[in-house]
């Protein structure tokens, strides 16, 4: 069987798909990954075969552009953070003198051109290679487009607690076909109705809303390549806290959104072992560090967390999900709608706490971490997430289901898929709403 993966232009979106790609290859199937050229090397290092035919739509550029749009509309909630120029990253103290209308039109033309390039590129490759199944990440409509044009089944692969049917449009659960390529090729309009199946790696409590048939799978963390250091095998003598921050946050929201130095100051003087997995570009921003802080680079998170007692992070789905698989209580300090939703839904499980970045004072950070380390309810909830994940089928168990879907266009009769959830739980929805109001 030939399986085409299509991925959007951000590794965190498709890293959860990597173990499924390995499982399909181990079962003797061919896997190719349609991607932007910028993602080819990352996919090669993951052991998958990239096909760099998609357009380059960098997620940092798109986030910066969205932020400027919010500033222009008066809906920007981080008054203390300047907008960043989408291309250069230059901080814009105000939009006075900046031709936002003209620039916005140019951005929209660029986005449409890159989207059109990707749709044309994946269709040309798919027609030549003839896959029997397409698996795409949530924001990669190129996979839906190619599968529908060829008449083969397709499955969306989620990466975290945000699903394909969300009430909040700010979460952008699915991409929009601004190019009108779908109707031009005689296909239905792009929308939630085209997503019939989703592979959901979230354990009970974090399952995201979707109207599609849900195929549950165990979340197997892949955080990129890296070596295992012997010290990480040893249990620490005092509580260990991992503090992780995505480089994309400060690139999207500016230097003031890099909260790791604030977290370190908040925890200074505590009897803790603090580990900072950092991007090389962020080392200089850390300044002088206390003796109980260890900085590590290129260290996969899933190798570190089993020895940690708590984790502080930016609310990215990869961080939330990897910590959940390790059964580690978490504190999410978030910027951006999707990270806000991740943090709120995590807090609703009891396995963590959530603060939006503008409210994350050292005092609140210190108090939240102390609660994660001392409150047995947080530890118990974190263990429930880990147990829920371990009870789900491993990626290799999904291979026969996908084989049958590719061969017949339907699921096997003995498959027990989970129905799509119409909405988050009442408690999760309430926490999400409350967080958005802060």
Q: In the block, which residue shows the tokens 């898929």?
A: 417
Look at residue 436 and tell me whether its pLDDT is greater than 50.
Answer: no
Q: Beta strands 197-200 and 330-334: pairing type?
A: unpaired
Look at residue 59 and tell me whether its pLDDT is greater than 80.
Answer: yes
| 3 state DSSP class of 333 | strand
Quick: pLDDT tens for 200-216: 999 999 999 999 999 99
Give the start-end residues of each E strand in 271-327: 273-277, 293-296, 310-313
Quick: pLDDT tens for 234-256: 889 999 999 999 989 999 999 99
Buried b (16+ CB within 10 A) or exposed e, 281-313: ebeeeeeeeeebbeeeeebbbbbbbebbbbbbb
Q: Beta strands 352-356 and 50-51: pairing type?
A: unpaired
DSSP 76: -
Look at residue 437 and tell me whether its pLDDT is greater than 50.
Answer: no
Quickly state the pLDDT bin for 138 (edges 50, 70, 90): very high
Q: In the block, which residue shows the tokens 């210190």?
A: 366
- 394 contacts: CB under 8 Å, gap ≥ 6: 23, 217, 218, 220
The stretches of 294-425 forming alpha helices (DSSP H) are 301-304, 317-326, 337-349, 362-374, 376-390, 395-408
Quick: pLDDT tens for 145-183: 999 999 999 999 999 999 999 999 899 999 999 999 999
CB-CB contact of 222 with 301 (8 Å): no
Q: Domains for the chain: give ranges and CATH numbers.
A: 2-61+70-219+393-425 (3.40.50.2000), 230-388 (3.40.50.2000)
Express as a percent the part of the chain with pLDDT over 90: 83
Look at residue 144 and tell me whether its pLDDT is greater than 80.
Answer: yes
- Mean pLDDT, residues 348-374: 97
| 185 CA to centre of own chain | 31
The string of DSSP letters for 79-143 reads: TTS-EE-TTT--EES--TT--HHHHHHHHHHHHHHHHHHHHHHHHHHHHHH--SEEEEETT-HHH
Look at residue 417 and tell me whether its pLDDT is greater than 90.
Answer: no
The C-alpha atoms of residue 300 and residue 416 are separated, in whole angstroms, by 33
Q: In what order do the strands lie in the sheet with 293-296?
A: 293-296, 273-277, 240-243, 310-313, 330-334, 352-356
- 132 contacts: CB under 8 Å, gap ≥ 6: 1, 2, 3, 152, 406, 407
Exposure of 413 by Cβ count < 10 A (0-12 exposed, 13-18 middle, 19+ buried)?
exposed
Quickly state the pLDDT bin for 423 (edges 50, 70, 90): very low
Closest CA to 431 of 366, 343, 361: 343
pLDDT value of residue 310? 98
pLDDT value of residue 431? 32
Closest CA to 157 of 297, 8, 365, 330: 8
Average pLDDT, the chain: 92
């Amino acid at each position: 069987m030939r399986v085409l993966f299509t991925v959007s232009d951000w590794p965190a979106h498709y890293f959860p798909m990597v173990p499924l790609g390995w499982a399909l290859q181990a079962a003797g199937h061919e896997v190719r990954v349609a991607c932007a050229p910028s993602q080819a090397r990352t996919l090669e290092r993951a052991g998958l075969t990239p096909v760099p035919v998609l357009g380059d739509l960098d997620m940092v550029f798109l986030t910066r552009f969205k932020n400027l749009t919010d500033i222009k509309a008066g809906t920007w909630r981080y008054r203390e953070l300047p907008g960043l120029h989408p291309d250069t990253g230059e901080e814009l103290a105000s939009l006075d003198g900046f031709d936002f209308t003209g620039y916005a039109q140019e951005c929209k033309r660029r986005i449409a051109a890159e989207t059109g390039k990707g749709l044309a590129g994946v269709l040309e490759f798919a027609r030549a290679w003839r896959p029997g199944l397409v698996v795409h990440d949530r924001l990669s409509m190129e996979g839906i487009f190619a599968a529908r044009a060829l008449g083969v089944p397709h499955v969306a692969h989620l990466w975290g607690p945000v699903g394909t049917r969300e009430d909040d449009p700010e979460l952008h659960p699915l991409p929009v076909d601004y190019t009108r390529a779908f109707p031009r090729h005689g296909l239905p309009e792009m929308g939630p109705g085209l997503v019939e199946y989703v592979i959901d790696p979230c354990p009970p409590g974090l399952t995201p809303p979707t109207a599609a048939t849900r195929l549950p799978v165990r979340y197997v963390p892949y955080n990129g390549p890296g070596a295992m250091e012997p010290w990480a095998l040893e249990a620490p003598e005092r509580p260990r806290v991992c503090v992780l921050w995505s480089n994309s946050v400060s690139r999207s929201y500016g230097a003031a959104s890099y909260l790791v130095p604030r977290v370190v100051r908040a925890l200074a003087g505590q009897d803790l072992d603090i580990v900072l997995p950092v991007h090389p570009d962020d080392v200089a921003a850390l300044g002088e560090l206390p003796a109980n802080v260890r900085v590590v680079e290129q260290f996969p998170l899933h190798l570190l967390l089993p020895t940690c007692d708590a984790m502080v992070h930016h609310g990215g789905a990869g961080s939330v999900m990897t910590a959940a698989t390790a059964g580690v209580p978490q504190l999410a300090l978030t910027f951006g709608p999707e990270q806000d939703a991740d943090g709120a839904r995590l807090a609703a499980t009891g396995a963590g706490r959530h603060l939006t970045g503008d409210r994350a004072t050292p005092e609140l950070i210190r108090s939240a971490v102390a609660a994660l380390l001392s409150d047995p309810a947080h530890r118990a909830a974190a263990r429930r997430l880990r147990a829920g994940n371990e009870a789900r089928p491993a990626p290799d168990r999904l291979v026969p289901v996908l084989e049958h879907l590719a061969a017949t266009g339907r699921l096997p009769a003995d498959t027990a898929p989970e129905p799509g959830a119409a909405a988050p739980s009442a408690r999760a929805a309430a926490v999400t709403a409350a967080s958005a109001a802060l």
